[in-house]
Amino acid sequence: MIERLELRLGLDFERGTLEGMAKLKTGRKSGDLPPQSGFVRKLRERSLFPAR
């Protein structure tokens, strides 16, 4: 779990790349940090009512 995050992001719009510098404080001691992954959240793009 994250308690505090300081992030510096450098974006390159031509190359589509990112450079990041993260200072991370975790709530408890942690040995595993996967910096490139993601998590599913239900896709909710479709409105239950049609657009006008």
Partner 1 sequence: MSVNSASAPFSQRVEGLNGLEAYEASVVRLEKPLEEVELTYSGRLESYESVLPYLKDSINPEYTLLRTDSLFYPIPSEPDFKSLIKSVVGSEFDAEITVEGIPEGLVVAFGGEIKENRLRIEGTNRLDIAVAPFKVIEKEPFRLFILSEEGIERTLDLLGKAHEFYSTILGSRVEKFTVIETPENYGGQAGKGYALVSGSSLRAEIPANLYHELAHLWNPRATPETHLSRFFDEAFANYLTALAIKEIHGEKAFNRFIECLKRDYEAIVRRFPEAEKLKPPEWGELGLWELSYTKGALILYDLHLLMEDSFYDLLRILAGAENVDFEGFKKLAEELSGRDLGDFFERYF
What's the min distance (Å) between Cβ of 15 and partner 1?
7
Which tokens go with 14? 């031509």
Calpha distance 46→10 (Å, rounded): 33
What's the min distance (Å) between Cβ of 3 and partner 1?
5
Calpha distance 52→45 (Å, rounded): 15
What's the min distance (Å) between Cβ of 36 and partner 1?
4
Interface mask toward partner 1 for 20-49; x: CB under 8 A: xxxxxxxxxxxxxxxxxxxxxxxxxx-xxx
DSSP summary character for residue 6: E
**Residues making contact with partner 1 (CB under 8 A):** 1-13, 15-45, 47-52
